Structure 1
Amino acid sequence: MQYKIMNNRTDRAGWRIAIDVGGTFTDVVLVTSDGAVHASKSPSHPTDPAEGIMNALQAMAAGQHLSLGELLGRCDSVIHGSTVATNTVLEGKGASVGLLCTRGFRDTLTIRRGIRVNPWEHRAPHPEPMVPRYRRRPVAGRIDAGGLEIEPLGMRDVEAGLAFLLETGIEALAISFLHAYANNAHEVAARALVSALAPDLPVFISSEIAPLIGEYVRTSSTVTAAYVSKRVVPYLTSLSRSLAGAGLHGRLHVMQSNGGLITLDEVARNPALLLLSGPAGGVGALRWIAEATERKRLITMEMGGTSCDLILFHDGHVDRTDALEVAGYHISIPSVDIHTVSAGGGSIARVDQGGVLTLGPDGAGSTPGPAAYGRGGRLATDTDAQLVLGRLAPGPFAGGAIHLDGGRAYAVVHDTVAAALKIDASKSADGIVRLQQQNLVHAVERVSIERGFDPRDFTLVAVGGAAALHAGSVARALGCSEVIIPRLAGVFCAFGMLYAPIRRDHVRTLSLQLEAATMPQLLRAMDDLQDDVREALRRQDLDVSKATFEKAIDLNYAGQQSAITVAFEGSAMEIRERFLSLHNALYGHVQKGSNPQLSAIRVAGLLAPPPVPVRIRRATAALAPAPRLRRDVWIGDRTQLGVPVFDGATLQPGHVIEGPCVIEEATTTILLEKGDRATIDLHDNYIVSTIAAAASSDRAVEAIA
């Protein structure tokens, strides 16, 4: 698949490749020095992601009529988004971890925060701690909340605890002592002793992984870093060697959860930074979409085979968080604020014992995948339903990586859903798709209405291989009047990685009132933290003179547990007003007579990547070409005969397509219903105007009124 976005040049140096490994497909995007963007999709290998990557690169090289060595030899860099860290936690296949903790706090991982997300559910168990109790060894010593030592570190406890843990066969060690965020001297001393006694044992300390108040989350984050280290670090090291052996002379960079890139050396310091590695790549592509289309408010709906990731972009800004939850474990790492739901093309449909149709949350993945893949899948999925409805066509899919079998799709929908519901297969398939769309509507409301934003003010960006089939219906239900579908929708996150900067996020706990009198102290602390960030970038052999820095502080009212992150710009009064505005948007009230207090300061250092050479194309004055064929497609509540099906490769900037119709692109399929109109802009994006539902969302109106 090729998308020419700039004029031809003969210089062939300076190519870049981005690789995004998903649960179903591995996406590869190549940008050459002549400005051409080439995309390919290959099936992922869950048991050996590196093999899947090398196969995907072989396919890309073959598409360029090059050997793998020739392809990699022309690349300045390879950027990789990996699901290895996330899958390690989800599958429970991490390292055997030991924990050294402060005496009296051995059960922190079990007690957690003492709260339940659903207070009415008393029986649902929490996940088992990653470190069983017998591998949590208490150590004497105490630092108070102000950072003062009130009891010296028990070095004999450290030595004895390590000896016991080594006998149990631990593969990594986490160290988390009380109040280490205020003074990490005890943790540093314990690590030094451990490294002297067991130099090959990976050791992670909480004051470097998550230096924040909150004993449980800080400990959980450190344990998670140790837990995923066994798979993440060897995997990336092996991949780097394989790429170098195959001809790569440039650098391998890895996508972090914060939307920036990092080197392998830095990954080894904190492997948990990769927990949202793949989806975070969408931030770079979002910024490109915003600039190219001159839209300031976007919501991405990135839907692949396994899940759907949503990001809200407003006024050039993507919200960030350091509070993640993966498989029930709470982890504090800098991250793009991504909401993920189990809604993908492989979501499995069932009829329960009460005769009710359900969809997900489990999915078919890439193996066996939907029944239509012909790999042994025996349960109906969203993809199978789309085939039954005629929206997807049988035959080669994703550039030939998959062959869709319409007969298998019909049979599995009929046998597992329609027969149980006692209706025909088409109506059953329509029910599956409608359930999926309702799941997506709720997901968009979660990132918009629940955060004080009206979705009607946003443009929906449908990306991933499956989203463009649902986007129109979801937009109408939300009251959105416009949907953007990039030509590279199926490889959106991989494309976005090409725009990702090198990024380092540092945070430090700091407790004081926000007022003019405390600003000098705050400024000094910010300068010190910025120096730490600059040094971290320098460790990666980077030119820090070109770095830019983003500064923010965490604020809350006295007595509040949660804080709001506010940009550190202007005077204390200006920062306070910014906090009040955000607090009012989130919670609907402010305490005007109360001064907020700081709980943490944050500095991010960024180094922008070389620009991707993009030039707008000339609009064609010609009418849109005739459809490639016509077929029967279920649209609305019935099958419509002879619906036009367009080949996306024949559509150019300036063409306008009216619904109902289907547009088949290289990496996605677009459904336009009656009243929808798609215009291809000068950047090769489909700008779809929809007729929003009249009664769009009463909840949105009530929440924002």
Structure 2
Amino acid sequence: MNSKQFRLGIDAGGTFTDFVLADGNGGIHLFKATSTPEDGTRAIADGLGQISEALDKPVSQILSSLDLCVNGTTVALNALIQHRGVKTGLICTAGHEDSLEIRLGHKEEGHRYDARYPPARMLVERRLRRPIRERVLSDGTIHTPLNEDDVRAACALFRAEGVQAVAVSFVWSVANEVHERRAAEIVRTMLPDAYVSVGLEVFPQMREYTRTSTTVVNAYLGPVLARYVNRIERFYVENGVGSPVRFYQSNGGMASSDAIVSRPVNAINSGPASAPLAGLFVARPFGYKDLITVDMGGTSFDITLTKGGITNINKDIDFLRYRIGTPMVQVETLGAGGGSIAWIDAMGLLKVGPQSASAVPGPACYMRGGTAATVTDANVVLGYLNPESLLGGRVPINGAASRAAIAKDIAEPLGISVEKAAYGIVSIVNVNMINGIRRVSIERGYDPRDFVLIAAGGATSLHIAGLAREIGVRTVLVSKLASGLCAFGQLLSDLKYNYMAACPMRIEPHSNLGRVQRQFEQLEAEAIAALGKEGFPRDRIRVERHLDMRYCGQAHECSVSIGELHVGRETIGRIRELFDARHKQLFTYAEPESQVEIVNVESTVYGMLEQPPALCLQPGSGDIERAVKARRNMIFGRGQGIEEIASPIYDGTMLGAGDVVCGPAVIEEVTTSIVLPPDWSARLDASGVYVLTDTQRAEKNER
């Protein structure tokens, strides 16, 4: 990346779309536009217009100078949440048409004994799950030849029913692919306009239900994401983009447009997947590697945990009630955002979320038709947000509308003041978020007090001090880029592809470990060739190997990273040690004397890019009073009640490295506001990161 080039990261959220533009001189620029879910190019055009105005360059010149343009999107996620995918058919082994509904007998945690809990909505109607007479055994032997007439009959039915996508998944296709390949060939011939999703191509590993479910989700979302990607690419090309357009994946890396269209299941949770990388970048100048990154936007609250610089990757999980096998960054997501709606339940208790006003109609103060009281409205009433405008004046708001909404929906029904109602709303959403943080830390064996809390998302900094105090975190880091941290994280990422295969084998003295090694080499040769076509020389490609292993007799396996280890007699002892250590980390025990088996292999292949240079701020003058641009009353908790305090509002753009602000106060950056309650302070580091400290707790620790 040279000084004449730019890199652009775009994260399209439910309420706002974030833009981070990095130049080769270390400059990083952050912009926000209101999301336009019906047509993402409108929000992109808005953001590019802001960039053009700020840099005084035409959009075409900026786009033609890009050496990287990467997009994170919620299109696949929203389509799955709202069940707005396409009409899908399934071709499967006869007798397995109902595996999607049987779900291995699984019932969501908390509802196991609830007979009234409704079943998950099926993405393929029962009559569109067509049985095919064929059978491959676990050793790859063909027991029953493929009945091609069954496949053709299924295609005829799909054509008559207007099916737009077809999933193909046969039992033990990972042991012998001939039937599944031939069935897919027939489908593509008879239904040339249909999107075809093949289990061997989407998730070529063991576990028939997981593979079928993943393949169906992929088919269901395929045409939706293809239309979005094609529209976005066409927009960029028409406006003069000068580099390949990349899209962000749930595994924490980028992919080409072709890869994301063929594997839309990999884009389901792409938005928050870049947060851990961005969090590590923010924490690097301070030497921290144990991080909890929290991202509160307009609709949701996303949490990721990084231990020792490594963020956990999940496989074979239930996401929105659908089993997905492909790798995803482990993210805990709650319906807790700035647009979360406050309401009173049948018992007369105040609740917040998970319903959201989103971008449209939005919180009451946005003046876009929303009338419900939201978390954003509560923050306005408490004095935490500017009651007249947001985003540096670009978005006018109406503080009086916030008060009116909270009075009507909450204060008057409960017989309390508007201020107490607003404080209650914020307190409840904070408790919801704290419970989420505890789920990713305490419930997984980690003490959150040993971690640093990283703020991401436009609304997080309003709440971050309260969250940290409640869970006992000593250090909070808030970057000047916090509200667009996920978009920035995309610019720090590499291309990342997961190549997988089944390779079941017990580890015994006579085991043919060469078969595992050859499987890795075959996957990696394919991956390196694919990245070579995308312009990556071999010295810019990194490979990381993983083995899914388990003790013999266990029902589930765990993924073990073995780096680039050669698999053979000389290394199997080390691999066994890595597996035992991983098992103990996950389940608190290991059985070094028990026999183990390999189930699947996976090569994660990275096309490595240079990272943009870090921010470096000029030292501050030490006179922070000149940064005070206003004062307003803010409301904080005091004992069992609340207290109103006249507090200074600081212009964050006027603060320099080393400047310290003490609470109660608000630091207003262009796209976010940092609330400092009494007894909190913030020091601005030269890296552009505010280091927040609970001075009251720090003094107690010193004593």
Asked if these proteins are the same fold (TM beyond 0.5), I'd say: yes
Aligned runs of 1:15-34 on 2, under 5 Å? 15-34=6-25
Equivalent-residue separation in structure 1 for 2:448 and 2:507 (angstroms): 33
SS of 2:275's partner is helix
Contact 1:504–1:536 under 8 Å retained in 2: no
Aligned runs of 1:177-196 on 2, under 5 Å? 177-196=170-189
Aligned mate of 1:502, from 478, 490, 495: 495
Alignment match, 1:153: 146
1:528 aligned onto 2:522: yes
1:593 CA drift (Å): 2.9
Aligned mate of 1:674, from 675, 678, 681: 678
**What is the identity, as a one-letter code, of the residue corresponding to 1:80?**
N
1:15 CA drift (Å): 1.1
Equivalent-residue separation in structure 2 for 1:410 and 1:138 (angstroms): 59
Q: When the two structures are superposed, what TM-score results if normalisation uses the length of structure 1?
A: 0.94
1:268-304 deviation per Cα after TM superposition (whole angstroms, max 9, x unaligned): 2212111112211223312312323311111100110
1:492 aligned onto 2:485: yes
Equivalent-residue separation in structure 2 for 1:515 and 1:467 (angstroms): 52
Alignment match, 1:610: 610
**What is the identity, as a one-letter code, of the residue corresponding to 2:630?**
L
**What is the identity, as a one-letter code, of the residue corresponding to 2:234?**
R
Superposed structure 1 runs of 4+ greater than 6 Å apart: none
Contact 1:28–1:491 under 8 Å retained in 2: yes
Equivalent-residue separation in structure 2 for 1:575 and 1:452 (angstroms): 24
Alignment match, 1:226: 219
Alignment match, 1:86: 77
Alignment match, 2:599: 599
1:511-535 deviation per Cα after TM superposition (whole angstroms, max 9, x unaligned): 2234676444433332222223223
Alignment match, 2:632: 631
1:196 CA drift (Å): 2.4
1:167 CA drift (Å): 1.0
Aligned runs of 1:490-569 on 2, under 5 Å? 490-514=483-507, 518=511, 519-569=513-563
1:383 aligned onto 2:376: yes
Equivalent-residue separation in structure 1 for 2:180 and 2:202 (angstroms): 12
Aligned mate of 1:52, from 43, 58, 74: 43
Aligned mate of 2:161, from 160, 165, 168: 168
Alignment match, 1:699: none
Q: Check 1:324–1:59 CA distance in 2 against 1; reply closer, same or farther (3 A cut).
A: farther
1:369 CA drift (Å): 0.7
Contact 1:83–1:275 under 8 Å retained in 2: yes
1:607-644 deviation per Cα after TM superposition (whole angstroms, max 9, x unaligned): 12122022534534634334222211012232333212
Contact 2:11–2:71 under 8 Å retained in 1: yes
SS of 2:609's partner is coil
Equivalent-residue separation in structure 1 for 2:591 and 2:649 (angstroms): 57
**What is the identity, as a one-letter code, of the residue corresponding to 2:553?**
G
Equivalent-residue separation in structure 1 for 2:397 and 2:423 (angstroms): 19
CA RMSD in angstroms, aligned pairs only: 2.0
Alignment match, 1:701: none
**What is the identity, as a one-letter code, of the residue corresponding to 2:424?**
G
Gaps of 5+ in 2: 566-570
1:441-464 deviation per Cα after TM superposition (whole angstroms, max 9, x unaligned): 111111111222111110000110
The number of equivalent residue pairs is 686
Q: When the two structures are superposed, what TM-score results if normalisation uses the length of structure 2?
A: 0.94
1:12 CA drift (Å): 5.9
Equivalent-residue separation in structure 2 for 1:390 and 1:615 (angstroms): 31
Equivalent-residue separation in structure 2 for 1:215 and 1:520 (angstroms): 26
Aligned runs of 1:117-266 on 2, under 5 Å? 117=108, 118-266=111-259
Equivalent-residue separation in structure 1 for 2:697 and 2:625 (angstroms): 30
After alignment, is 525-534 or 271-280 more displaced?
A: 525-534
Contact 2:503–2:599 under 8 Å retained in 1: yes
Equivalent-residue separation in structure 2 for 1:204 and 1:288 (angstroms): 37
After alignment, is 280-289 or 222-231 more displaced?
A: 280-289
1:375 CA drift (Å): 1.1
Q: Check 1:73–1:525 CA distance in 2 against 1; reply closer, same or farther (3 A cut).
A: closer
Contact 1:371–1:412 under 8 Å retained in 2: yes
1:545 CA drift (Å): 4.1
1:492 CA drift (Å): 0.5
SS of 2:439's partner is helix
Equivalent-residue separation in structure 1 for 2:515 and 2:213 (angstroms): 31
1:454-501 deviation per Cα after TM superposition (whole angstroms, max 9, x unaligned): 111100001101111111111111111010001100000001111110
Q: Check 1:60–1:267 CA distance in 2 against 1; reply closer, same or farther (3 A cut).
A: same
Aligned runs of 1:56-455 on 2, under 5 Å? 56-117=47-108, 118-455=111-448
Q: Check 1:59–1:617 CA distance in 2 against 1; reply closer, same or farther (3 A cut).
A: closer
Equivalent-residue separation in structure 1 for 2:79 and 2:392 (angstroms): 30
1:139 CA drift (Å): 0.8
Aligned runs of 1:630-669 on 2, under 5 Å? 630-637=631-638, 638-669=642-673
Equivalent-residue separation in structure 2 for 1:441 and 1:256 (angstroms): 27
1:622-672 deviation per Cα after TM superposition (whole angstroms, max 9, x unaligned): 343342222110122323332122111111111111222111111211111
Q: Check 1:114–1:247 CA distance in 2 against 1; reply closer, same or farther (3 A cut).
A: same
**What is the identity, as a one-letter code, of the residue corresponding to 1:504?**
Y
Contact 1:348–1:363 under 8 Å retained in 2: yes
1:132 CA drift (Å): 0.2
**What is the identity, as a one-letter code, of the residue corresponding to 2:610?**
P
Contact 2:66–2:241 under 8 Å retained in 1: yes
